[in-house]
Amino acid sequence: MNIANGRAPLSGLRVVELAGLAPSPFAGLLLADHGATVLRVDRSVSYDTPSPDLLVRHKKSICLNLKDPQGLLVLRALLKHVDVLVDPYRPGVLESLGLEPAGLIAQNERLIVARLTGFRRDGKYASMAGHDINYLAVSGVLNQLGRKGAPPHPPANILADFAGGGLSCAFGVMMALYARERTGKGQIVDCNMVDGSAYLATFPRLATKTPIWNRHRGENLLDGGCPFYDVYECKDGRYMAVGALEPQFYKELLNGLNLRDFMLLQHDRAAWPAMRDAFGKKFLQKTRQEWENVFDGKDACCTPLLSYAEMEAAGYEQRHAVTLTGTPGLKLDHDMTWESMGINPGVGGEELLQDWLGWRKGRQYDIKSGTVVQIDIAKL
């Protein structure tokens, strides 16, 4: 790889990630994939059983019992020597462990504490449990998603958990790191999936005051209400995706479908029902591959809807979301982008205790009931 000075962009960055559900591990994954050393703090479980978390690529693990004072001391010692702590817990949990963020920063002024919650840390939902669908619901975003005449439909857990949560958290960490270059000091990064999701939906929210999105759910230009921005079934049960918004792309689409009678009716809503029906019937006349043959290389904004299974079988290369030409992220092998091998709790953690703290087993720490504990406070 062409890495300047042999280093990925986040090489040398030390991150402690407290084990959590999907959003915080995704934030850690983004950092790890770009060279950060991410140490995941797992609970005491069998060393032979991989973590159920799938987002452990390029990470290391240490088992700590944070309810054991000796285990907590290990974490405290680590946090004096790292750059970032990723906290996935609900408000107040970290504090209940005696790990008040401001106090941690007082002991390591360069520490960045990234706190990722589902709901806002204030308001009536702050102490409540929730999942992606709940955060989308109270952010206003879920109300905009779905077909006309049907209940709102969540897009799996992609928006709140991963985009509004994990990605936003990683972005917050990068902003704090950039600020630290000027100030020399770390800070608390507060992220929540409600505000993260709402921010992602800035355009559609503003568009509700314009003709683009001022109708009921499923009746607008980009939410399934428009026949030339939708998905159509083909003869073989597969699908083609159509996004021919601009006039020149719409024209190319109609030429490919041989439906030129609609050429002057693109924005005539009265014609949309007949247009949708004609598109649906036309796409059913050919297989997806046959339609690919029609539209490949054409500016019709008409593409096949691919499944992960067929992409993997075809050897599709998953890549980083962003590529830096001088300092690219770590290599993503084909196998690791299609299946998670997991990580056994504790793998690599003791190596980092030595690298980061200079600790050695039997001197500063030992293993008790499957977890690392501090044993010689006097010599630290």
22 burial (CB, 10 Å; 0-12 / 13-18 / 19+) is: buried
Q: Residue 42 is inside which H or E element, if any?
A: strand 37-42
The residues facing 233 across adjacent strands are 239
23 vs 260: CA distance, rounded Å: 47
Non-local CB neighbours of 17 within 8 Å, separated by 6+ positions: 24, 25, 27, 28, 38, 39, 40, 41, 59, 86
368 vs 357: CA distance, rounded Å: 19
- From the candidates 161, 223, 236, 366, give the one annotated as an active-site residue: 161
Length of the chain: 380
Active site (annotated) includes residue 366: no
120 vs 87: CA distance, rounded Å: 14
Q: Which residues are catalytic?
A: 161
